[in-house]
Copies of this chain bind each other. A is one copy, B any other.
Amino acid sequence: MNIVKKVAIIGAGNLGSQIAALSCKGGFCVEVFDVSESAIEKSKKALQISSIKYCSKRDELSKDCDLIIETVFENMRVKRNVLSWVDKYFTNSNVVICSNSSEFLPSSLCKKMQRKNRFCSYHFHSPSTHADIVDIMLHKKTDSDVPEVLTQFTKNIGLVPFVIKKEHKGYVFNTIFNEVIAQSISLAVQGIAKPEEIDRCWMVNTKMSIGPFGMIDLVGLDTVEDIMYNLLPKKPLNVFAIRYFKKYTKQNYLGKKTGQGFYTYPDPKFETKSFLE
């Protein structure tokens, strides 16, 4: 079985960097690749971990990495091309190759790969959401040792593995929580309650430390707007939700990252004690 020692992360964005940091902390050798020098600089500055090897040229990566995690942006064509190259480049015969895609199914992502049996989805939630589950979603051709390797690796980096044997868009948690978001937006759009009121109601009843609109602020209003656009053929009522979101996004109220979304940052109202009273 593959005993992971060397991890390659393809894509130095927010999530890629976070996975690199966790892997490093878990005692693994970590190499991070990105075509963008500025992405690499940003990642270096954010992490400040000298033992991570950054590469901006493909052939700088060690060919004998055991675990390859692709975290490039959510575009099927780009992901397929990256995975096809990864498949050819890394030589370890029991390498595990995985994609962090939140949208696409593993059987579709690996279309251009030869070693489809060494591949599955490996989905991290954004660390800022404090969601500790990492989804390991197999497709029909995935070798049985692959989820074992990823289960062990996930535990080693301090997170909770969750194996899903049957492909399903949205995994398990996102499938459920996306509906929480959708229903909350729908209630706000209909004027039944305001975003803050909905969050308060959710937080009082569930004892969660964040509500649906606080979560949208973390994920980014632009990202949620994109998801709603993509779902338009299935959910035509999203038209009203998108119009509602536009009022915020037009003013660059994109959530925590721009300092303003449904709440104002760095000290959003929902984090104050009096919010729940």
Residues of A at under 8 Å CB distance from B? 125, 129-133, 160, 162, 164, 166, 168, 172-173, 175-177, 179-180, 182-184, 187, 190-193, 197-198, 200-202, 204-209, 212, 276-277
CA–CA, A274 and B271, complex, Å: 30
Q: Are A132 and B208 in contact (CB under 8 A)?
A: no
In the assembly, how many copies of this chain are there? 2
Are A131 and B162 closer than 8 Å at their CB atoms? no
Q: Complex formed: what's the CA distance from A162 to B277 in Å?
A: 10
Which of B129, B160, B176, B201 touches A173 (beta carbons < 8 Å)?
B201
CB neighbours (8 Å) of A276 from chain B are 160
A204 touches B160 (CB 8 A): yes
A201 and B166 contacting across the interface, CB-CB below 8 Å: no
- A200 nearest in chain B by CB position: B162
Partner of A206 from B168, B192, B206, B277 at Cβ < 8 Å: B206
- Please, which residues of chain B bring their CB within 8 A of the CB of A190? 166, 168
Interface pair B180/A187, CB less than 8 Å apart? no
